[in-house]
């Protein structure tokens, strides 16, 4: 009887030690997987932020005299296409510029009485950054505020 009790104590102890090892293994594996996931998200965030800065300062769409960038010419915004921009910035991203006054999408028919330009937008989950920018209206010479949204699809 005493021997059996001693044996049971050792069995219980061994069981707990094994349980600790198994649970530690699960925890460390889970932590490693979440670290990889976080790293992936961080890379995507950095890329989306870079894309936003590059777009905001691109001489392709900015007015020439504004060296600090973020002053887009409406005529240039109308003339560029998703394919043009994909040659510069790659694929799997989108950009939208919308003035605070008008939200009608710009086409050749309603230009310049419109205030929204959209490039490479498609369905899907994305990480998006917003930035205030200006739109220079070539016809009137006026400057309007707008919001630039740049997103990277996951």
Partner 1 sequence: MKRRLKGQTSMILIVLVIIIFMAIGIFLLISSIKPVNEDYYNLYAHNLLLTVLRTHTGYGGECETYASTLACAYMKPYRGCGTSECRNLSYEITPYLIEKIIKPNLDYCLVIEPEEGMQGEKLVYGPRCDVVLNKRAKWTANEKILQYGANLNIKFFISEG
- The footprint of partner 1 (CB under 8 A) covers 5-6, 9, 12-13, 16, 20, 23-24, 27, 31, 34-35, 38, 45, 49, 53, 56, 68, 70-71, 100, 129-134, 142-147
Contact yes or no for 70/134 (Cβ under 8 A)? yes
- Is the CB of residue 55 less than 8 Å from the CB of residue 76? no
State the sign of the Cα–Cα–Cα–Cα dihedral 13, 15, 21, 23: negative
Residue number with CB closer to partner 1 (7 or 84): 7
Q: Is the dihedral of CA 104, 108, 111, 115 positive or negative?
A: positive
Between 13 and 84, name the residue whose CB sits nearer to partner 1.
13
Q: How far is the CB of 143 from partner 1 (least distance, A)?
A: 5
Choose between 122 and 141: whose C-beta lies nearer to partner 1: 141
Nearer to partner 1, 9 or 84 (CB): 9
- Rounded to an integer, what distance in angstroms lies between the CA atom of residue 138 and that of residue 64? 12
Instruction: State the nearest-atom distance from the C-beta of 132 to partner 1, in Å.
Output: 4
User: Computed over its alpha carbons, how large is the radius of gyration of the chain?
Assistant: 28
């Amino acid at each position: 009887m005493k021997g059996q009790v001693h044996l049971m104590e050792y069995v219980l102890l061994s069981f707990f030690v094994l349980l600790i090892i198994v649970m530690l293994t699960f925890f460390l594996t889970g932590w490693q997987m979440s670290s990889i996931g976080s790293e992936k998200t961080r890379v995507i965030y950095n890329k989306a932020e870079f894309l936003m800065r590059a777009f905001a300062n691109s001489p392709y769409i900015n007015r020439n005299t504004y060296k600090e960038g973020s002053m887009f010419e409406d005529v240039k915004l109308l003339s560029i296409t998703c394919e043009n921009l994909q040659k510069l910035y790659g694929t799997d991203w989108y950009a939208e510029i919308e003035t605070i006054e008008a939200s009608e999408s710009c086409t050749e028919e309603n230009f310049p009485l419109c205030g929204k330009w959209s490039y490479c937008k498609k369905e899907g989950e994305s990480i998006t950054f917003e930035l205030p920018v200006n739109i220079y209206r070539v016809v009137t010479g006026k400057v309007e505020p707008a919001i630039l949204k740049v997103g990277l699809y996951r």
